[in-house]
Amino acid sequence: MRLSQTLFGATFHNPVLLAAGTCGFGEELQDALDLSSLGGIVTKSVTLEPRLGNPPPRVVEAGNAMLNSVGLANPGLERVCSEKLPWMKEHLSGIQVFVSVAGHIPDEYWRIVEGLESVGGFLGYELNLSCPNDTRLGGLPFALDPEALRGVVEGARGVTDRPLLVKLAPNVPDIGPVAEAAEDAGADGITLVNTMPGLVIDIESRDAALGAGSGGLSGPALRAVGVHAVHRARECTSIPLLGVGGITETADALQYLLAGASLVQIGTATFADPRTAQRVAKGIARYGEKMGVGDIQHLIGAYQGTKRPVSVSGGPG
């Protein structure tokens, strides 16, 4: 099956990327897997200033899931431009790279994009508007408020012509209008979903298991939430979608593709097995061959969606 696609004016050899926050800037994983076998990567979120992150522990188990509160630890814009981008330019030229961008106020996002723009060496941006561990100044993450989101995306659109992805949060009543706001504001693609707010309590200390208190839930428990979000966003928007949340096996990635995602991202599973993304990409090709599908385009959005709840209100009698 043909796995290659042209999206955002670029070629993706296959639909599997590594998710933000799980592969550093690529360099950190170069000895653990063959990065050229991927469709691409999304870097760790970059902030204006360096951040040390939250107190340990930053990651705990949470049933069939993981809870993290890393707290956006990253070297900051200046070092990313002087150290990380040159490395990526030299070593990741065969795959597509999105730089994840985060901030507390809209102006921070725009300044980071402007700063990165002047260096280059990557395809585009993923605006992280949904970190559960680092909210917008004086409020919730931008992705929980379509109007706040719109402002950040419009401003970023004004300072770059590169592909602009917007990463949304799962914990909204209906992700449809949020996805619409992202598209209206000028996004080229939408990534769904970031982690879900969660809390693990240590019953001995009666305190939070994470050093920072609450955190973001990821892993298999998040998958059905992510697939549903992609399906809903597909109903409401027409730009490419990137599905992320709980992909461990080929079948998980296929669900996202069928729901309407053009690309998928692997996050938490990479920690247990850095080669998960490679394995899933090969598995998608094998599935296509087994099912007689010649091109991945024929899988994307092929979810039938024919089943509906039975009405119990009934009519008279």
Catalytic residues: 131
The footprint of ligand RRO on this chain (CB under 6 A) covers a number of residues equal to 16
Select from 281, 249, 292 the least CA-distant residue to 268: 249
Among 14, 43, 191, 195, interactor with ligand RRO by CB under 6 A = 195
Select from 190, 269, 184 the least CA-distant residue to 222: 269
Q: How far is CA 62 from CA 23, 67, 157, 214, in A?
A: 21, 6, 38, 12
Binding flag, residue 70, ligand RRO (CB under 6 A): yes
Q: What are the b/e assignments for 147-168, b being 16+ CB within 10 Å? A: ebbbbbbbbbbeebebbbbbbb
Q: Which residues 216-255 are close enough to bind ligand RRO by CB under 6 A?
A: 216
CB closest to ligand RRO, residue no: 216
Query: What gap in Å lies between CA 103 and CA 153, rounded to an integer?
Result: 12
CB of 284 to ligand RRO, least distance (A): 25
Q: Which residues 270-299 are close enough to bind ligand RRO by CB under 6 A?
A: none
Binding flag, residue 72, ligand RRO (CB under 6 A): yes
Binding flag, residue 265, ligand RRO (CB under 6 A): no
Q: How far is CA 64 from CA 56, 197, 255, 289, in A?
A: 21, 15, 18, 31
Binding flag, residue 171, ligand RRO (CB under 6 A): no
Binding flag, residue 21, ligand RRO (CB under 6 A): yes
Looking at residue 142, the DSSP 8-state letter turns out to be G
Binding flag, residue 260, ligand RRO (CB under 6 A): no
Interacting span for ligand RRO (CB under 6 A) from 117-125, 127-135, 271-279, 294-302: 127-135
CB of 74 to ligand RRO, least distance (A): 8
Binding flag, residue 19, ligand RRO (CB under 6 A): no
Q: Which residues 73-102 are close enough to bind ligand RRO by CB under 6 A?
A: 102
Query: Which residues of this protein are in contact with ligand RRO, per CB under 6 A?
Result: 21, 45, 68-72, 102, 128, 131-134, 194-195, 216
